[in-house]
Amino acid sequence: AAGVIQSPRHLIKEKRETATLKCYPIPRHDTVYWYQQGPGQDPQFLISFYEKMQSDKGSIPDRFSAQQFSDYHSELNMSSLELGDSALYFCASSPGLAGVPEPHSNEQFFGPGTRLTVL
Amino acid sequence: DAKTTQPNSMESNEEEPVHLPCNHSTISGTDYIHWYRQLPSQGPEYVIHGLTSNVNNRMASLAIAEDRKSSTLILHRATLRDAAVYYCIFSGGGADGLTFGKGTHLIIQP
């Protein structure tokens, strides 16, 4: 079965640079979530989108922004990178209203992650 | 903040059943109970979820207390591949983000 696709899988940036991470949800999933997992930490929710509109917001820094496009893929844009931004970034998708038999029960399917290293 | 309480770690033998407990005393009547697991170097993986009734799927069973303030994830026959951190999370559904706590580190002995 098709899974969530994230690109790139690995990214190395310098401090103060920008980075863009991409996420392609499972086909027919209309909801996308972004999570950050620092070394030895548990995943932290950043932001989510449903039908291209921001839906829920977690601990996303102001330097980060995200959007969901008409084909439902999503991009996380990170500016003025800091050493502390080094982490695994996971994208997840869920079927939203299309979820059967429980629309909006919110089971999320995670991608393999993008490992961002800021030097 | 959606708060759950789980043991830091548990150990079990291969091919034996495993019962992973979770307390979620602040859960509301419309919150779903979710379980995810994370294997080393991988993204979290959905395991099972439920609302009020016990649930079974190919991976596990979920037993939910009558007052919904606790639940137990049951792995019927643990394998070495089940060694992971297991997270119990309650969520209002919709497009809400999941709040991951510390989880239970499950160790499987051969």
Interchain CB contact of B45 with A (< 8 Å): yes
SS3 A70: coil
Mean per-residue pLDDT for B12-41?
Answer: 93
Interchain CB contact of A19 with B (< 8 Å): no
Interchain CB contact of A104 with B (< 8 Å): yes
Each residue's pLDDT tens digit, A91-108? 999 986 655 555 556 789
Residue of B nearest to A97 (CA): B94
Amino acid at B59: M
Mean per-residue pLDDT for A8-32?
Answer: 96
What are residue B105's DSSP bridge partners?
A: B9, B85
At residue B83, what are phi and psi to the nearest 5 degrees? -65, 120
SS (H, E, C) chain B: CCCCECCCEEEEECCCCEEEEEECCCCCCCCEEEEEEECCCCCCEEEEEECCCCEECCCCEEEECCCCCEEEEEECCCCHHHCEEEEEEEECCCCCCCCCCCCEEEEEEC
Amino acid at A85: D
Nearest CA-CA partner of B96 in A68, A77, A108: A108
d(C-alpha A25, C-alpha A109), whole Å: 9
Interchain CB contact of B102 with A (< 8 Å): yes
What are residue B9's DSSP bridge partners?
A: B105
Q: Is the pLDDT of residue B7 over 80?
A: yes
What are residue B62's DSSP bridge partners?
A: B55, B73
Instruction: Determine, for residues A105 and B100 on separate chains, whether the beta-carbon distance falls below 8 Å.
Output: no
Residues 6+ apart with CB under 8 A from A61: none
Of B13 and A103, more confident: B13
Each residue's pLDDT tens digit, A30-80? 899 999 999 999 999 999 999 899 999 999 999 999 999 999 999 999 999
- The pLDDT of residue B69 is 93
- Distance of residue B5 Cα from the nearest chain A Cα, in angstroms: 14
- Distance of residue B66 Cα from the nearest chain A Cα, in angstroms: 20
**Average pLDDT, rounded, for chain B:** 92
Nearest Cβ partner for A56 among B34, B49, B95: B95
Mean per-residue pLDDT for B1-16?
Answer: 90
d(C-alpha B78, C-alpha B65), whole Å: 23
Mean per-residue pLDDT for B19-42?
Answer: 92
- The pLDDT of residue A36 is 98
Is A73 exposed, middle or buried, given 0-12, 13-18 or 19+ CB atoms closer than 10 A?
middle
Instruction: Determine, for residues B96 and A56 on separate chains, whether the beta-carbon distance falls below 8 Å.
Output: yes
A and B: number of Cβ contacts within 8 A: 78
Q: How confident is the model at residue A2 (pLDDT cuts 50, 70, 90)?
A: confident
Residues of chain B positioned with their CB less than 8 A from the CB of A106: 32, 34, 49, 91-96, 98
- Angle in degrees, CA A68, B44, B40, rounded to 5: 135
Q: How confident is the model at residue B68 (pLDDT cuts 50, 70, 90)?
A: very high
d(C-alpha B19, C-alpha A67), whole Å: 40
Each residue's pLDDT tens digit, B77-107? 999 999 999 999 988 777 889 999 999 999 9
d(C-alpha A90, C-alpha A3), whole Å: 13
Nearest CA-CA partner of B100 in A68, A17, A73, A88: A88
